Chain A
Amino acid sequence: MSQSAVDVPPKGGFSFDMCKRNDMLIQKGLKAPSFLKTGTTIVGLIFQDGVILGADTRATEGPIVADKNCEKIHYMAPNIYCCGAGTAADTEAVTDMVSSQLRLHRYQTGRDSRVITALTLLKKHLFSYQGHVSAALVLGGVDITGPHLHTIYPHGSTDTLPFATMGSGSLAAMSVFEAKYKEGLTRDEGIKLVAEAICSGIFNDLGSGSNVDICVITKGNKEYLRNYMEPNPRTYVSSKGYSFTKKTEVLLTKITPLMERVEITEVGGEAMEE
C-alpha cells in the first residue's frame, strides 16, 4: 500500500507556506521586488441623473512612469464601473474576479446587477486578505434602486458618499470637490467638475499624470469617455520628421592617390602547407 499524499485543493484565504522562506531571504539581504503601483487620482461623484467616475492614466514603478496611458476605470457590469488605485495587479485581478462573479450571478438570477452586490463581494474578498491585497477602489453605478457611489479601502472598509476621491492625488482632487461640489449638478457641470478634480491631481501630485478618463453612468446608459482630456500633449513634434538638410559642397573633383599601387606577383613557391 503506497503512502501517496492526497492532493487536497487549498481552502482559500492567505497561504502562509512561503513566509518562513521569504523572511530568511530578506534577512540575507534580498530586496523584495517593487510593485507596479498606480500612484493615482481617482474620483467619483453623484449628479442628478447618475454617477460620473474619473481617473488619471499614469502607472508608476517607484520613480519611473511605467505606463503613460493605462486604463484605471474597470468594467464590472454594463451598469457598474470601478476605478482602482494601489497595486495595479491587485486592482486588475480583484475587479476582473468580481466582474465574472457578477456575470454568473446575472445568468442565475436573470436580473441586472446591483452596486451593493459588487460592493459586498469586493469588501469580503479584501477583508479576508487583511489589507495585503492593496486595492483602493471607487465603485459607482446605477441600478434598479438608483445611483450609488462607494469607496472601498484595502482592508475592507467601505464608505457611501455623494463625492469621493482615492489615491495619492486624493487630497488635491478632494480640495476641488470640497470647494465646488453642490447637489443637483447637471451632466455637463458634473463632467467639468470631475475633469477639474482629476487635473488638480495630475498637476499637483507626482504620482498622477497624463490624461483624464471619464465614465458617465445613467439609468440604462453608460458612456466611457476614454482620454476625455489630454492636457499633457507631446510638445515640439516636428511635422516634417527628421530630415538633414543638404549642406555638403563640392570643393574639388581631382583625385590624388595617396600611395603607389603595389603589384603583388606570385613567387611560384609552394602554397602554404596546411
Chain B
Amino acid sequence: MTFTIPIDNGDAVKNAEADSQRTLYPYVTGTSIVAIKYKDGVLMASDMGGSYGSTLRYKNIERMKAIGKHSLLGASGEISDFQEILRYLDELILNDNMWDDGNSLGPKEVHNYLTRVMYNRRNKFNPLWNTLVLGGVKNGESYLGMVSMIGVSFEDNHVATGFGNHLARPILRDEWHADLSFEEGVKLLEKCMRVLLYRDRSAINKFQIAKITEEGVTVSEPYSLKTFWEFKAFNNPTAGAEGSW
C-alpha cells in the first residue's frame, strides 16, 4: 500500500518569498579591521580585499570611510550591507547639517545610532551582516567602539574584528599602552596586519591606515607590507624526515 504525502505548494511559495527578503548568508565579504586609540586620536587599519566565497574578487575596496566631521567607520563582513549603512549615515549626517545649529554628531552618537540599527535588524531576523568599528575625536576626547551584526556593542582602547579577534587581540593586549605616538601606533598596527597577512587566508597585501584626530580624518594611500619568507627551515623542511611532508 502506498501513501501519498500531501504537499501544500502554497506554503512553499510563501516561504520562498519570505526567505528571499532576508539575509541568510554573506556573499562579498571584507576581512578584519584593527583599530587603536593613540595620543592624538584613533588609528584604524584594514586591507582592501573583497572575497566572493573563496575567490579574491575585488582588490580595491575601501572599507574605512569618514562620517561627518568627527567619526571614522570601518566595516568587515558583507560589503553591500556596508554600503547600505553608509547611505543611512549619509542621511543622518545630512539631516544633522540641515539643522545648521553649530552642533554636529560625534562618534558616541553615531555609534549609538548604529547599535540601534543593527539590533533592530537582528530582531527582525534580517541582519546587516557586518561588524562595524567606529572611531572618532570630539572636543578633545577620543572614542573607539564596535558593533556586531547581532547588536553587541561596546567601547574599548583597542578593537579587532573577524580573524583579528584571535590573531591581533593578543598582541594588542600585550603591547598597547596609553599615549602611543603616531609612529608607535602605526608600527603596532602593522605588526598585527602582518600576522593577519600570514595567517588569514582572505587577507591581501594591500592596506590602508586611517587616522582621525581633532583636525579630521585622513585615509592613507594603499601600500603593502614587507614579508619574510627566508627561514632556512622552510627551504627544505623535510631534510631531516625523508618521505614525510
Residues on A lying within 8 angstroms of B by beta carbon are 46, 115-116, 119-120, 123, 145-146, 148, 150, 157-162, 171-172, 174-176, 178-179, 183, 200, 203-204
A contact residues around B171 at 8 Å (CB): 175-176, 179
B contact residues around A171 at 8 Å (CB): 163, 166-167, 199
Q: Kindly identify which residue among B198, B232, B240 contacts A160, using a CB–CB cutoff of 8 Å.
A: B240
Closest residue on chain A to residue B196 by CB atoms = A175
Closest residue on chain B to residue A181 by CB atoms = B231
B237 shortest CB reach to chain A, Å = 4
B218 within 8 A of A: no
| A172 with B170, Cβ < 8 A, contacts A162-B233, A178-B194, A178-B199 known | yes
Please state if A145 and B240 are interface contacts (CB–CB under 8 Å). Answer: yes
> Can you list 22 residue pairs at the A/B interface with Cβ under 8 Å?
A145-B240, A148-B240, A148-B241, A150-B241, A158-B244, A159-B237, A159-B245, A160-B233, A160-B237, A160-B244, A162-B231, A171-B163, A175-B170, A175-B171, A175-B192, A178-B198, A178-B199, A179-B191, A200-B174, A203-B170, A204-B169, A204-B170
Closest residue on chain B to residue A46 by CB atoms = B233
A contact residues around B163 at 8 Å (CB): 171
Q: How many residues of B contact A (CB 8 A)?
A: 26
A200 shortest CB reach to chain B, Å = 4
CA distance A150 to B237 in the complex (A): 10
B contact residues around A157 at 8 Å (CB): 245
Q: Which of B170, B192, B231, B237 has the most CB of A within 10 A?
A: B170
Q: What 9 additional pairs, Cβ within 8 angstroms, besides A160-B233, A179-B195, A200-B174?
A: A116-B244, A123-B244, A150-B244, A162-B233, A171-B163, A172-B167, A174-B167, A176-B170, A178-B194
A161 shortest CB reach to chain B, Å = 7
Taking CB atoms and an 8 Å cut-off, the chain B residues in 158-196 that contact chain A are: 163, 166-171, 173-174, 191-192, 194-195
CA distance A158 to B242 in the complex (A): 13
A contact residues around B194 at 8 Å (CB): 178-179
CA distance A115 to B238 in the complex (A): 12
B238 shortest CB reach to chain A, Å = 5
CA distance A203 to B169 in the complex (A): 11
CA distance A176 to B192 in the complex (A): 10
CA distance A158 to B241 in the complex (A): 11
Chain B, interface SS category? helix
Q: Which of B166, B169, B194, B234 has the most CB of A within 10 A?
A: B166
Residues on B lying within 8 angstroms of A by beta carbon are 163, 166-171, 173-174, 191-192, 194-195, 198-199, 231-234, 237-238, 240-242, 244-245
A contact residues around B237 at 8 Å (CB): 159-161
A197 shortest CB reach to chain B, Å = 9
B contact residues around A115 at 8 Å (CB): 240-241
Q: Kindly identify which residue among B167, B240, B242, B245 contacts A146, using a CB–CB cutoff of 8 Å.
A: B240
| A204 with B173, Cβ < 8 A, contacts A171-B199, A178-B199 known | yes
B contact residues around A145 at 8 Å (CB): 240
Closest residue on chain A to residue B228 by CB atoms = A182
CA distance A204 to B192 in the complex (A): 15
CA distance A119 to B241 in the complex (A): 9
CA distance A148 to B239 in the complex (A): 10
CA distance A256 to B240 in the complex (A): 93
A208 shortest CB reach to chain B, Å = 12
B36 shortest CB reach to chain A, Å = 15
A contact residues around B167 at 8 Å (CB): 171-172, 174-175
CA distance A203 to B170 in the complex (A): 8
Please state if A116 and B195 are interface contacts (CB–CB under 8 Å). Answer: no
- A-B pairs, 9 with minimum CB distance: A162-B233, A171-B166, A172-B170, A200-B170, A175-B167, A160-B237, A116-B241, A204-B170, A178-B195
Q: Which of B192, B240, B245 has the most CB of A within 10 A?
A: B240
CA distance A178 to B232 in the complex (A): 15
